[in-house]
Structure 1
Amino acid sequence: MAEHPHADLIRRGYDAFSRGDMDALRGMMTGDCTHHVPGSHPLSGDFKGLDAITDMYGRLFSETAGTMRVELRRVFVDGRGHAVAMHRSTADRKGRHLEEDGCIVFRIVGDKITDLDECVRDMDVSNDFWS
């Protein structure tokens, strides 16, 4: 049985992110897409539009000197424009190491991502690492 197109979109997105391919990611999102990052650290907040989102992704890589890695674990879809991706993130920054489980809830219209709501297992760990 073939994978649902929304699950395939999310897998391709994680692959593009892992390769640092911002052009591919831009092609998977609507122009007014928003990525919501939880927490109270400098990289948290609502990033609206392709430039804001890809700039934030670039900061993730630059702040971690390229050590940021995200391993996609699972993708769940509902067939109605929602997907949930579970992942494991690792990174090193300023002498600290991050190893964290998280997920992103995606909203998809047609074949494009319109919204990403990120969740982390431990908000304090995330805030400490990125602050």
Structure 2
Amino acid sequence: MRFPTSAEHPNVALLRDGFAAFDKGDMDLIRELLADGVVHRVQGRGPLSGSYRTPEEILGFYVRLFELSGGTFRAEPYSLTADDAHGVALVHTYAERPPDRVLAGRAVHVFRFADGRITEIRSLAEDQYADDEFWS
């Protein structure tokens, strides 16, 4: 029996490009991937939790992650899936904060798309309590 092969959905490539841009600090490319009315919802009760409602607010949030972690924050996807409207990224997260705090865990990012751009991101940490404590 042969199973049909399928090409990668364009929104999977969009997510892959976005994570690669994030890893390199390429905020210009990330900005291109975000729709004007985008919202990024970060779950939890820590100081970085909340809703970021414009591309500029979202980019500022990403810069803050790097600032608070001394440039050590990483979000490395190990599984990406997407269709025309939705996508999911399973990621390993890692960051350090002086003097000896380390965040090493997993998270899920759920995306919505329209017209080839990201319109919504929801970020959920595997251990929300640890995540909140780390960033506090």
TM-score w.r.t. structure 1 length? 0.96
Cα drift, residue 55 of structure 1: 0.3
Give the counterpart of 2:51 among 24, 30, 46. Answer: 46
Q: Which consecutive segments of 4 or more residues in structure 1 shift more than 6 A? A: none
Give the fraction of aligned pairs with identical amino acids, expressed as a percent.
35
Alignment-derived partner of residue 69 in structure 1: 74
How many residue pairs are counted as aligned between the two chains?
Answer: 130
CA contact (8 A) 2:11 2:84 kept: no
Matched residues in 1 for 2:102 and 2:62: separation?
Answer: 18
* Code of the aligned partner of 1:109: A
Structure 1 residues not aligned, in runs of 5+: none
* Code of the aligned partner of 2:95: A
Alignment-derived partner of residue 81 in structure 1: 85
Cα drift, residue 8 of structure 1: 0.5
Matched residues in 2 for 1:122 and 1:14: separation?
Answer: 21
Deviations 1:100-127 (A, max 9, x none): 1001000000200000011111111101
Matched, 1:108 2:113: yes
Matched residues in 2 for 1:18 and 1:75: separation?
Answer: 16
Alignment-derived partner of residue 90 in structure 1: 94
Q: Partner of 1:129: helix, strand, or coil?
A: helix
Greater Rg over alpha carbons, structure: 2
Alignment-derived partner of residue 124 in structure 2: 119
Matched residues in 2 for 1:111 and 1:76: separation?
Answer: 15
